[in-house]
A = this chain, B = another copy of it.
Amino acid sequence: MFSPLIDELIESLRCLPGVGPKSAQKMALYLLEREHKGADRLAGALRSALDKVGRCSSCRTLTEEPECSICRSEKRNNGVMCIVETPADVIAIESSGCFSGRYFVLMGHLSPIDGIGPDELGLDKLKNIVEYNNITEVIIATNSTVEGEATSYFIAELLKDLHIDVSRIAHGVPMGGELEYVDGNTLALALDGRKKL
């Protein structure tokens, strides 16, 4: 509908998650009408990130360094490892300020239908790290979805014969949550995991 270069820009903006044809058109016109500077910065940032960002050689998170800043840090407790699905989960846990160990980022979850098995999640590497790095405790913090639970179970089985503590983060009513609006499964887990006062 527009000229070819504008159409191409609209079409390529659609690769962004949650951006449909109408938003893509709005974004493209906004950039071309009023945000040349921002668009230029975005093009540059995309190019450098694509060229340089790779995986951390220890924890597999996204970083442009050979090792990410958490793995490089000497202030972390190297005996405890938290296993999460994505780099965003690392940030979420770091923001809580309650964990000072190291991470292992699966970059996904087991999903045989999409061809994602233990190899794609680097589980052999995980076992190696746990075995040869004096890790004494592993906390599995995959998502509370069917796939996340399956992945958690698989990892627990994998680490069983190493005789270390393997735990799963607690499930229950979120802070500030009103019982009335909490779903049945969560309530069942909250009751099941009750703690003595």
**Residues on B with beta carbons closer than 8 Å to the beta carbon of A50:** 32, 36, 39-40, 43
Bound complex: CA A35 to CA B15 (Å):
8
**Residues on B with beta carbons closer than 8 Å to the beta carbon of A26:** 17-18, 88
Counting every copy of the chain, the complex holds 2
Contact A65 B3 (CB under 8 A): yes
Bound complex: CA A17 to CA B52 (Å):
27
Closest-by-CB residue of B relative to A26 is B17
Name the prevailing secondary structure of the A interface residues. Answer: helix
A-side interface residues, number (CB < 8 Å):
55
Q: Is A155 an interface residue (CB 8 A)?
A: no
Bound complex: CA A88 to CA B45 (Å):
27
| A residues at B contact (CB < 8 Å) | 1-6, 8-9, 11-13, 15-18, 23, 25-33, 35-36, 38-50, 52-53, 62-65, 68-69, 86-88, 91, 94-95, 107
